[in-house]
Structure 1
Amino acid sequence: MSQRYEKVCDLAHLNAFATEIKDELGNAGVLLLRGNLASGKTAFVKAFALALGIKEAISSPTFSILHEYKGKLFHYDIYQCGSNGFLQSGLIEKLDTEGYHLIEWGDAEFEKLLHHFGIGYSTIDIEILDLKRNYKVHINAYA
């Protein structure tokens, strides 16, 4: 079942929102995070990690592409490598690993790649609204 909605949220309520998203995804999932630079993609991943009980420092894997936390949170940043680099790195196979795969910069080309491999995913598009963010959520965008 596909679900779409929008939510405006400030930093003080981000942890609760991330917990809602975790609950909607269930025990695992691929989640594409999209938005401009400094829109809050990594801040969302930090809040999501807290929802999973992960207390270690979370940073964007801009150059390493992937940071893995406790074997249950996989944080990707494909800004530098794009869809082709992601595919060439062999990381597409990592998406089969049980856990939550949060992917920053998962654009339409990346969605085509996921479709090609039959990988279900959800999306969150983040828009900046002064000190708040508007999150456009699409759970199970493709399954």
Structure 2
Amino acid sequence: MEFKDETALQAFAAAVAPKLQAGDILLLDGDLGAGKTSFTKGLARGLGITDYIKSPTFTLIREYPDGRLPLYHMDLYRLEGGGAGDLGLEEYFEGDGVSVVEWPDYLGEAMPDAYLLIHFLKDEVDDSKRTLTFEAAGARAQALLAALPTK
């Protein structure tokens, strides 16, 4: 799925939000600047969260409890050497909200069984364009994938 700019990407993410349920896990994979946090901003807006959303790179996890569902935004970039298994992420994954994980390659042993993996690719010619591809693991993630807006 291709998006012409950040506004379109956020609008898509906002349209995904009503499809989400407690316990859903979105893994966001892509290079720096590929749109992962921008997507999360749109998702938060779609969940009714009015807080300013910023990357939790230095805090690892930011919690936004005030929407239709709580949003748990995680950025594991600083855990390149490992250590995600010590964070207790399964409490978030099995909790009452939606977990969004940037840099899921660093989950290691903490990798959940069920998730929707979203790959972000920045266009090499037009820096504002993004292409998203999706992979679903588990029945709930497959149902979520089938329910995604087609733009």
TM-score normalised by length of structure 2:
0.76
Match of 2:41 in 1: 46
Maintained 8 Å contact 1:86/1:92? no
Match of 1:75 in 2: 73
Match of 1:4 in 2: none
Maintained 8 Å contact 2:85/2:108? no
CA gap of 1:43–1:88, structure 2 versus 1, over 3 A, is same
Deviations 1:16-67 (A, max 9, x none): 3113333444454100001001111100100100011111111111121100
Secondary structure of the 1:98 match is coil
TM-score normalised by length of structure 1:
0.80
Question: RMSD over aligned Cα, in angstroms?
Answer: 2.2
- Partners of 2:88 and 2:108 lie apart in 1 by 16
Determine which of 85, 94, 98 is the counterpart of 1:87: 85
Relative to its length, the structure with more strand (as a share) is: 1
Runs of 4+ with >4 A deviation: none
Tell me which amino acid in the other structure corresponds to 1:124.
I
Q: Which structure carries more relative contact order (alpha carbon 8 Å, separation 6+)?
A: 1
Q: May I ask how many residue pairs the two structures share in their alignment? A: 132
Match of 2:121 in 1: 127
Structure 1: give runs of 5+ residues left out of the alignment.
1-6
**How far off its partner does 1:104 sit?**
0.2
Match of 1:114 in 2: 111
- Partners of 2:77 and 2:43 lie apart in 1 by 20
- Partners of 2:138 and 2:37 lie apart in 1 by 23
1:62 aligns with 2:60: no
Match of 1:30 in 2: 25
